[in-house]
Structure 1
Amino acid sequence: MNNVAIFLGYGNGTFSPVTEFSTGDGSSPSFVQAGDFNNDHILDIAVANYGTSGIVVLFGFGDGSFLLGTEYQTGVGSTPYAFAIGDF
C-alpha cells in the first residue's frame, strides 16, 4: 500500500468518508504527523516511508485536499518507522 487515508471531521462528532492520498510508488508508509510545514497556516501531513527510506510531505490546501510534495531521504536502508516534528 502506497497511500495514507484521512477522515475529515465535521466538528459534530461525525466524519467524512475516507479519502486516500498517494505517498509515492513503493513508499510503504509507516508513520504520520500533521503540522504546518510550509508556514502558510494550513495543516500539512508528513509521512515516514519505510519502503523508500524517506519522509514525504503532503501539502494541505485547507479544503481537505493535499498535494504530494518532496520526499526527503533519511539515508540508504534507513527504513524510517517514526519521526519527531518541532521548531528546532
Structure 2
Amino acid sequence: MISVDLNRDQIIDLVVANLGDHTISILFGLGNGDFQAQIKYNVDREPSHVISGDFNNDNKTDIAVLGRLSNHMDVLFGDGNMTFPNRKR
C-alpha cells in the first residue's frame, strides 16, 4: 500500500495491492480522514508492490505494480481525471 496525492488536490489517496484477486484498489481521500469507495483495476497475477510517479512524462501521476510470482510489471497511466484508462505490461 502507498499513500500519494494521485489527483493533485492536496489530499492523500491510497493505492492498495490486492494479492488475492489480482487487482489494485484506489481510494481517493476526502480530506477528513475518510475515503471514497474503492475503484479496482485488474493487474498481473498476485500484485505485491505498488509505486507511483510520472513514468511517461505527461505531468500526471501513474502507478506501477509488481507481481509477486512473475517477472511482469503493470503500469497504469493516469489521465489527470482520477482514472487510469491505459495499462502497459
Instruction: Please give the TM-score of this superposition, normalised by the length of structure 2.
Output: 0.68
Distance in structure 1 (CA, Å) of the matches to 2:66 and 2:54: 16
Cα-Cα RMSD: 1.5
**Aligned-residue offset at 1:12:** 3.8
Task: Measure the CA separation in 2 of the matches of 1:7 and 1:38.
Answer: 23
Structure 2 stretches lacking a partner, 5+ long: 1-20
Is the Cα contact below 8 Å between 2:67 and 2:73 reproduced in 1?
Answer: yes
Q: Which residue of 1 aligns with 2:55?
A: 37
| Map of 1:11 onto structure 2 | 31
Is the CA contact (8 Å cut-off) linking 2:78 and 2:86 kept in structure 1?
Answer: no
Shift of 1:38: 0.6
Residue by residue over 1:36-83, the C-alpha shift from the partner in whole angstroms, topping out at 9 and shown as x without a partner, is: 111111110000012432111001111211124221xxxxxxxxxxxx
Structure showing greater Rg: 1
Task: Quote the Cα distance in structure 2 between the aligned partners of 1:30 and 1:45.
Answer: 13
Q: What residue ranges of structure 1 are gaps of 5+ in the alignment? A: 72-88
Say whether the 8 Å CA contact 1:9–1:16 is kept in structure 2: yes
1:61 to 79, 83, 86: 79
Give the one of 61, 64, 71 matched to 1:46: 64
Give TM-score, length-normalised by structure 1. Answer: 0.68
How many residues matched? 69
Which whole-Å CA distance do the structure 2 matches of 1:51 and 1:4 have between them?
Answer: 16
